[in-house]
Chains A and B, each alone.
Chain A
Amino acid sequence: MSTPVLDLRGVAFAYPDGHQALFGVDLHVHPGERVALLGPNGAGKTTLVLHLNGILRAGRGSVAISGLPVEDANLLEIRRRVGIVFQDPDDQLFMPSVRDDVAFGPANLGLPRPVIEERVESALRAVGMLEYADRPPHHLSFGQRRRVAVATVLAMEPEILVLDEPSSNLDPASRRELADIITSLGVTVLMVTHDLPYALQLCERSVILADGVITADGATRDLLADAALLERHRLELPYGFTLPAASA
């Protein structure tokens, strides 16, 4: 089997105040997979995500990205490989123009200017926002800002795209557009969400994080069909939603 893009072994983490958030997480994600990381609020999802690019370091266990261990010496390369799109695009987009913001990551990688410009163009084109390149981010709609946030990490040509609650606060059309973009990219995706229909639409496989450990790992459809499992983890399908017939 190929080297997993994400390789987490027994990752445990406690915050400095003593609160332990992760109790030994094992997770493998292989190239080309789209995996949903499900779990109720407070399950440790965001804490886990911050381990993927070395913002937080495991107290025990190990994290490796495509075989490269998350260590100080590799930090910049790790952050290139793992593209995290945070939940609030206003946290992610801070430069005066869309173009500057998308160029921020590639410039930190020390790429030459023509390459940066190419990356900016292709990333913005991939999310359908090229014509907004010279606008300030705060003049865009929320859905547009989220798409630009995706472009800011695409421009670093990551090996895995990590999306934190990508569907939150989006109207149905923006939600569908973002789904179309994610499926069109063809990159490995880890999607943190409690939007179960969105997980079903985009990810064949899901894992459930609860109380700091992975408690379920399988086909999204099977997980969502297991009412008892969902209830145990405070996960619920929206009112009126039934799983579509298995043909999909």
Chain B
Amino acid sequence: MGAGHGHFLHFHGHSALHRLPAHAKLVALLIFVTCVVVTPRTQVWAFAAYAVLLLLAMAASRVPTAYLGRRMLIEIPFVVFALLMPLIATGPRVDVGPLRLSEAGLWGAWALLAKGTLGVGASVLLGSTTEPRDLVRALDKLHMPQPLVQIASFMFRYLEVVLAELQRMKVARESRGFHARSVKQWPVLAATVGALFMRSYERGERVHLAMLSRGYAGRLPFAAELAASRVEWARALALPSAALLVALAAWVRMGA
């Protein structure tokens, strides 16, 4: 478990991007990703344009490229899948070096890589420039269903508690000479996961009791409401507006 302490994703900073209200940024992300997803994959230039827009936003955030890059590694399983597609897809084949690859597979891989990378990049940028608790507030502000908002809020709050618990269990195991070397030790790991589940479940019940004791009636009230001025909305929507133009242009050229 490589996750350290402190913030998992957020990169502390004071750039214009950091200061924008979270719900405006979330709306911007949603529009941007939608534009990317609906753009026809054959309009390669459009994806280059999206990439330029995203790189500009990343530069404006002043979050180090290496930091963003490390967090984008989460995309790797999809990259592996994308690289396999030209090999396993069916249909007409083209020769690329020593390999005979599926044409449809190549296009599929391109679309997955391009759209996926842009989406992950934009999401990582949002995560790096927004405090997790503000993201939760943004979901609340945008009227996401309360159960989903609350699940997100609890996940943010208790992730570290559960990880710390797991870490303590690991230390306690190893203090008694345990080392997971082979499949034979898997039952022990399974028991650990089971115990962690039970503890988390019971903690959930205790948290619920404590909430009821303070008059909980189904809603999490957030003390500081998010608010965005027109200027802030305009700033936040600059990137997705440009992306929208690109998407429209791509569709027009596709039709022509």
Contact = CB atoms under 8 A, between A and B. Distances in A.
A99 to B, nearest CB: 5
Contact of A153 (B154, B209, B214): B214
B214 A95 contact: no
B171 interface: no
B223 A103 contact: yes
Interface stretch (A20-28, A32-40, A105-113): A105-113
Nearest to A102: B223
B222 interface: yes
Interface stretch (B104-112, B157-165, B178-186): B157-165
B224 A99 contact: yes
B4 interface: no
Given A95-B153, A120-B223, A136-B157, A76 B207 contact: no
B162 to A, nearest CB: 10
B217 A95 contact: no
Interface in B180-231: 203, 206-207, 209-217, 220-224
A94 B157 contact: yes
Interface residues of B, number: 29
A88 interface: yes
Nearest to B222: A100
A94 B212 contact: no
A86 interface: yes
A96 B214 contact: no
Given A99-B224, A104-B220, A76 B215 contact: yes
Contacts of A116: 223
B100 interface: no
B12 interface: no
A186 B97 CA distance: 83
B132 interface: yes
Interface of B: 6, 132-133, 136-137, 153-154, 156-158, 160-161, 203, 206-207, 209-217, 220-224
